[in-house]
Amino acid sequence: MKIALAQINTHIGNFDANVAIILQHIDRAKRDGADLVVFPELCVCGYPPLDFLEFDDFIVRCENAIQQIAESCVGIAAIVGCPSRNPFVEGKNLFNSAFFLENGGVKQIVHKTLLPNYDVFDENRYFEPNTVFRFIEFQGKRIALTICEDLWDIEEDKMYSQWPMEELQVQSIDVIINIAASPFSYKHAESRKRVLHQNAAKYKLPIFYVNHVGAQTELVFDGGSMVLNRDGNVVCELDYFQEDFRVFELDWVNTAKSVPFSAEGFSAPDTETERIYHALILGIRDYFRKMGFKKAILGLSGGIDSALVYTLAVHALGKENVLGVLMPSPYSSDHSISDSLELAKRLGAATETLPIEPVFSQFTASLSDQFTGLSENITEENLQARIRGVLLMAMSNKFGYILLNTSNKSEMAVGYGTLYGDMCGGLAVIGDVYKTQVYSLCQFINRNEEIIPENILNKAPSAELRPNQKDSDSLPEYDVLDKLLHAYIEEKNGPAELIARGFEKPLVDRVLRLVNTNEYKRFQTPPILRVSPKAFGMGRRMPIVAKYLS
């Protein structure tokens, strides 16, 4: 039996495009002599569809799409992910299902058992869990068809009360197929391999695993579909961060001993930094493509954050589609302008210059009566940031650009940013990238040639909103701050645990107060491309009005 894995990039709710790409791959599988072609979880409607699942019309379109796909399955079988209705009154109205299509129709439907309800997942909101376990029989082989999380409950501290493979493995299974929508984080590829390895080795069965690729707003799916033999060894791994398609002979998989992978595209990136780079490129590109946008605009300050976002945008969208706007303030240094212009020259991308001093003078003049006798403080700094935001949004509105936000995760965590100023935009590109990771990404970009000028990398970080300002005037040094933030946000260490790990109590109190009291700002930020195991946004749900200190 020949099994094809179709690692495709779908678009939520775009049924015509999704069906078209599925049909293309079914035709390709036929031409390549495959008996069965396997597609990712919920690929018919796109993942995650969220509250679109509550629209009856959305489900009707899913059903119509399945019928159209099934009609093409003559001379070949297919496994396709799609929601299905629960025929019983009890429970949720829908299942998260895998449709087995053969001979022009729906032969069998398998439902997902384990519904994740943590981090970015909220499947219990929409789906009823499966309670019936039946294999699929095809060409004399018994297939255990599972859906993503169905293979993931392998820890000693079990999250679920049922385990699909424990029910299926007693039925003389020959092969496991798992269709998935497993989002990217820079540590997740190893977790997937570990989970799949443990399942294959435990049940002594080969596994065919197919994952989504592409980005859906915040979530990036990195692909990395793979096949493992009955000993749990990966015998082939599909490309990362792009669509891919492979056909495998089941008998070969059962006897294969090593990884013969030699992809023409992206193999698994070696480092966390390289993975983050490719994820951000894919996230930007798919956000624009799927939203129907073409051109990006951003403020170019001469600092490392805007330099990185400018470079990523050029790599993702093309130099002709990115505009960097220099908006020098009365406190901007000469090198901030010259460094930005040098970066633009190296990238071959456009810039414009809009000095903010005339507007700032008018604003301060308008407020002079109200501010009489008061010294300058953060108010004047925020005014400058908001003027820049207004200018960028005006350019966006007039010329059809989408504004890219350039705030990093360290700044977002402690509220080091101005609402309706440097925190505005349509997409927060590096909002899940700590400042120390920003430097690593720039060094990765410069690995073969100096694209981002060294002067940008070497200068002290500064917002340049007052004379001789530096970030370190307001914040701990980033190498210390980022370690503390990671321990609190990603590792979920409480105040006492942080102090026990060696962080000084005054620092813990100060940083946690900043993180917790600035939740209201993060609530109003643009969508953030998720690259870490715990990103701000849909995966981290915290109360705005709360107090949690040591």
CA distances from 288 to 104, 406, 485 (A): 36, 16, 30
Phi-psi domain of 142 (left: phi exceeds 0; alpha: psi -120 through 50; beta: other): beta
| Strand ranges across the sheet with 244-249 | 105-111, 94-102, 77-85, 36-38, 2-7, 244-249
- Backbone phi, psi, residue 407, to 5°: -75, 135
Pick the catalytic residue from 41, 149, 237, 381. Answer: 41
Burial 135-162, CB ≥16 within 10 A → b, else e: bbebeebebbbbbbbbbbbeeeeeeeee
- Residue 296 pairs with which residues in a beta bridge? 322, 402
Contact 387, 424 (CB under 8 A): no
CA distances from 474 to 260, 463, 513, 550 (A): 53, 11, 14, 21
CA distances from 72 to 108, 179, 246 (A): 16, 20, 20
- For residue 93, give both structure tokens: 């109205």
Pick the catalytic residue from 148, 236, 424, 442. Answer: 148
CA distances from 107 to 86, 136, 167, 232, 506 (A): 17, 9, 21, 30, 64
- Residue 141 pairs with which residues in a beta bridge? 138
Question: Distance between CA atoms of 386 and 471, rounded to whole angstroms?
Answer: 18
Residue 545, C-beta contacts closer than 8 angstroms, at least 6 positions apart? none
- For residue 352, give both structure tokens: 């414009």
Active-site annotation holds for 148: yes
CA distances from 477 to 76, 484, 511, 550 (A): 60, 11, 12, 21
Task: Compute how many other C-beta atoms are within 10 angstroms of the C-beta atom of residue 318.
Answer: 14
Pick the catalytic residue from 112, 193, 409, 521. Answer: 112
Active-site annotation holds for 519: no
Question: Distance between CA atoms of 531 and 444, rounded to whole angstroms?
Answer: 16
CA distances from 199 to 163, 164, 166, 207, 325 (A): 12, 11, 11, 8, 52
Question: Distance between CA atoms of 175 and 200, rounded to whole angstroms?
Answer: 9
According to DSSP, the β-strands at 36-38 and 2-7 are parallel
Active-site annotation holds for 41: yes
SS3 392: helix
By annotation, the residues acting in catalysis are 41, 112, 148
